[in-house]
Structure 1
Amino acid sequence: MNRLIAAGLMFGNLIEISSPALVERYNRALKHLTGKTTKLTDFHIDISGYSPEIGDELGDPIYLNPNGANRQFILLTTSQKTAPLLNMKFSTSRGILMQFIEANEAQLFALTARDAVCGELQGSVYEVSAPARLLEMKQVTVEADTIGGHVADAERLAGQINRFRQEPDGWRDDVLIAEMIALARKTGDVTRVPISLPAMTFQQPNFWTSHFGGIYVFQDVAFPGVIASLPRESLGAMPISPVMDMTRRNQIAEWLDRNGLVEPIVQARGLDAAAVLRQKMDFILVEAAEALGLEIGDARRTELRKIAYRLGDALPDEFLGLASLLRWVEGQGPWPRITSEHACYFYTLRAAPGKDRDLVNMLLSELAPMDVRQMFITHKELFYAHYARWSERKRQWVAGFLEREYKVDAQGARAALFGPEPSMDARDRPAPRPARDVGPVVGPWGASGGRR
């Protein structure tokens, strides 16, 4: 992984902590949450305050998330909102933390100027011993305070001030006045500079979790469902139907279509479909060359074209399907009939606009794993797992491609491939399609005989 780290493709955008004051605050927070401390004098943290260096030091990569269900966090600066989330257990966690920081940025800026802020993403369950428990995690509440309890003290002081003002003999209550003075020394004048950090609750009916091999839960759609990376039988009884695994390609395709969650890339607004198809075909050729032990040189398109000639009728079905679609896009061939039974089917789709866009693209990256660019952008945990199994030759090429073609304009690349960032407004969700008898095979290609 050192190549990815050096290229800024792993552990990128982490926040450096090297100030003795911040290190001391972090240690106080770490002691408060876990009972442990670090001896490191400089390290990096993600949006939740997790540090990979401290994880290595403690031999515990989940020291801020011991049960895997209710992630704890340490905020030293509001700049953490731009950092990634490492060791992600739930796909919603980073978005929730970012919204919490942005909604309370002024208060957090003031609080972190004097102390570390600690908190927890509290789900509705405390452990996930069985897959069925995941469906009970429909919301997450974020509560936080400084190590010194400034928020709680400010609330207590505000209550005492109200009591002092309302009680006729409040000015004679020496005990009350003494308590107010003591609290004010810690909080400052809360009548002029209020301190408030209210608990915030976020809904998460649709999410991915790394538990049980990786599971996608969709409850807030017209036709709910669960999709697992492992065989569906391994999940046991689930209080939702259908329950699918990645081998149920036709069923997943029909379910995605019924819920209006995907769109063909050739129909996506503002997308250069031909360029995207060519790049996907390049990725597939690299994988084919890797499997056969063929030299790919610098894997430029001219080199990959030579590999395609060498493979001839041994070209992967994924490549041939996308090639037929590219010919149609460029006006050089008929409309191809590509159904969900075709190996290239999920390579021809992207998530439809809506609040679940990123989650659906994450799912598609598992169903179309040779598209390494989409996998890196939408599902880094899966990408790093695949990267660890690749040959040194493929690792070098993929890292070089991402550094050269993606990292220089990551935001622009995301927008070009997947469209604008989704709105949090549920009204932006695409309308689901009515249930219908589609048979065992579905797809955007089989129902039409010509251009759309």
Structure 2
Amino acid sequence: MKRLIAKGLMFGNLVEVSSPALVERYRRAMKHLTGKDTQLSDFHIDISGYSPEIGDELGDDLYLNPNGCNRQFILLTTAQKTAPLLNIKFSTSRGILQQFIERNEAQLFALTARDAVAGELENTIYDAPTPAALFDIRRVTVRADTIGSHVRDAEKLAGLIDRFRREPDGWRDDLLIADMIELARKTGDVTRVPIALPAMSFEQPNFWTSHFGGIYIFRDVRFPGVVSALPKASLGSVPVAPVMDLTDRTAIADWLDRNGLIEPIVRARGADSAAILRQKMDFILVDAADALNLDLGQATRPDLRKIAHRIGAALPDEFKGLAAMLAWVEGAGDWPRLSADHPAFFYAFRAAPGKDRDLVNMLLAELAPLDVRQLYITHKELFYASYRRWSDRKRQYVADFLEREYLVDRQGARAALFGAEPGMDDAARPEMRDGPKPAPGLIRAVGPWGAVRR
């Protein structure tokens, strides 16, 4: 993992905490939330205030996330809004924190100038003893205040001021005036500079959770469904059907198609499908060469082409399927028809535009895991777990590629691969919420990419 850290591919863009004042504020907030303390004089934090160095010091990566269900957070600066979220338990958590910071940025900027802001992403459950408990999560509410309770005191002061103005003899009430003066010493003049940090609630109908090996829950789609990384029988009884696992490839393909959640890369608007397919083929070839202990050379495309010739008939089916598709795209072959059970099938798709785009691309990364670029971008937890199992040769190739081809232009790479980012108001647009309405069985009837004509 040191290679990834050195290249900025792991723990990248974290916020450094090194000034004594900020360290002390963090320690106070940490004690307030968890009762624990740190002896470190400098460390780094993610968007939630979690520090990998402190997690290592305590031997507890969940010191801000008890039971993995209600993530607590510490804000020292609004600059945390661009930091990643580490040790993700729910796919929606980073987006919720980012929206909370952005929508309250002016207030948080003023509050963090004097104190740390601490809070919690409150789920409707406190732990998940069974998979069925996860389906009780419908909404996440963000509540926060400074350690010195500036927000609470400001609300109290505003109430006293209102009372002072309403009561005819308020100016004679010495106790009321004394309370107002005492609170104003902490909050300042709230009539001129109001302090407010109201609770914010976010609906959570569709999400991924790392609990129980990884589960994708889709409730706000035309045809709800659940996809489990572990065998579906391990989930027991859950209130949403159908329940599928990653081996149910045909069922997943049909379900994604009926919900309009995916689109073929060769039909995706603005996508350079030939370039995307070639790169996927390179990733697959590198994995095959690594498994055979073949020298990758400089891993340039000519080097990889030589390896492909050397492997010959033993080339993986994923590679052959994508090669057939590439031949059609370039006008050098017939239209390929691959069933959902074909190993290359899910490499041919990306998520359709909409509010669930990132979640669907995350699922596709699990179904097409040799595409290491998509795996890194959309499912970092699985990428890091996979990285630990790779040979040093493959680790070097992947790290060099991501540093060279992705880090230099993250937004451009994401746009080229997945299209424009979903808008903030997508959830409120019925056409985006419900998705297009394809005819049932489209994939089975005309093949994985529809009735395309050149």
- Which TM-score band applies after superposition, normalised by the shorter structure? over 0.9
* Maintained 8 Å contact 1:217/1:227: yes
Please name the residue that 1:267 is paired with. 267
1:399-444 superposed Cα distances (whole Å, 9 cap, x missing partner) = 01111111111111001100010123222346243673579x5774
Change (3 A) 1:185 1:443: farther
Q: Percent identity?
A: 73
**Partner Cα distance (1:314, 1:38) in 2:** 54
1:191-236 superposed Cα distances (whole Å, 9 cap, x missing partner) = 1100000000001100000000000000000000010000000000
1:129-156 superposed Cα distances (whole Å, 9 cap, x missing partner) = 1111111111100000000000000000
**Partner Cα distance (1:262, 1:95) in 2:** 22
Please name the residue that 1:164 is paired with. 164
Q: CA deviation at 1:346?
A: 0.1
Change (3 A) 1:211 1:161: same
SS state at 2:388 partner: helix
**Partner Cα distance (1:443, 1:237) in 2:** 35
Please name the residue that 2:83 is paired with. 83
Please name the residue that 1:451 is paired with. 453
* Maintained 8 Å contact 1:340/1:443: no
- Segments of 5+ residues of structure 1 without an aligned counterpart are none
The worse-fitting range, judged by mean Cα deviation, of 423-432 and 298-307 is 423-432
Please name the residue that 2:437 is paired with. 433
Please name the residue that 1:116 is paired with. 116
1:65-111 superposed Cα distances (whole Å, 9 cap, x missing partner) = 01110000000000000000000000000000000000000000000
SS state at 1:293 partner: coil
Residues 1:379 and 2:379 are matched in the alignment: yes
SS state at 1:384 partner: helix
Please name the residue that 1:34 is paired with. 34
Amino acid at match of 2:440: R
Please name the residue that 1:404 is paired with. 404
Change (3 A) 1:200 1:395: same
1:137-184 superposed Cα distances (whole Å, 9 cap, x missing partner) = 111000000000000000000000000110111111111111111000
1:346-380 superposed Cα distances (whole Å, 9 cap, x missing partner) = 00000000010000000000000000000000000
Residues 1:210 and 2:213 are matched in the alignment: no
**Partner Cα distance (1:442, 1:388) in 2:** 41
**Partner Cα distance (1:143, 1:163) in 2:** 26
* Maintained 8 Å contact 1:340/1:442: no
Matches within 5 A, 1:230-309: 230-309=230-309
User: Aligned residues, how many?
Assistant: 450
SS state at 1:201 partner: strand
**Partner Cα distance (1:2, 1:319) in 2:** 31
Change (3 A) 1:65 1:446: closer
- Segments of 5+ residues of structure 2 without an aligned counterpart are none
* Maintained 8 Å contact 2:327/2:333: yes
Amino acid at match of 1:221: V
TM-score normalised by structure 1 residue count: 0.97
SS state at 2:287 partner: helix
Amino acid at match of 1:46: D
**Partner Cα distance (2:449, 2:34) in 1:** 56
SS state at 2:68 partner: coil
Please name the residue that 1:16 is paired with. 16
**Partner Cα distance (2:254, 2:54) in 1:** 45
Coordinate RMSD, CA, aligned = 1.3
* Maintained 8 Å contact 2:115/2:147: yes
Please name the residue that 1:152 is paired with. 152
Q: CA deviation at 1:445?
A: 3.5
**Partner Cα distance (1:407, 1:444) in 2:** 35
SS state at 1:127 partner: coil
Please name the residue that 1:327 is paired with. 327
**Partner Cα distance (1:165, 1:446) in 2:** 69
* Maintained 8 Å contact 1:218/1:224: yes
Amino acid at match of 2:117: V
Change (3 A) 1:430 1:294: farther
Moved over 6 A (4+): none
Please name the residue that 1:6 is paired with. 6
TM-score normalised by structure 2 residue count: 0.97
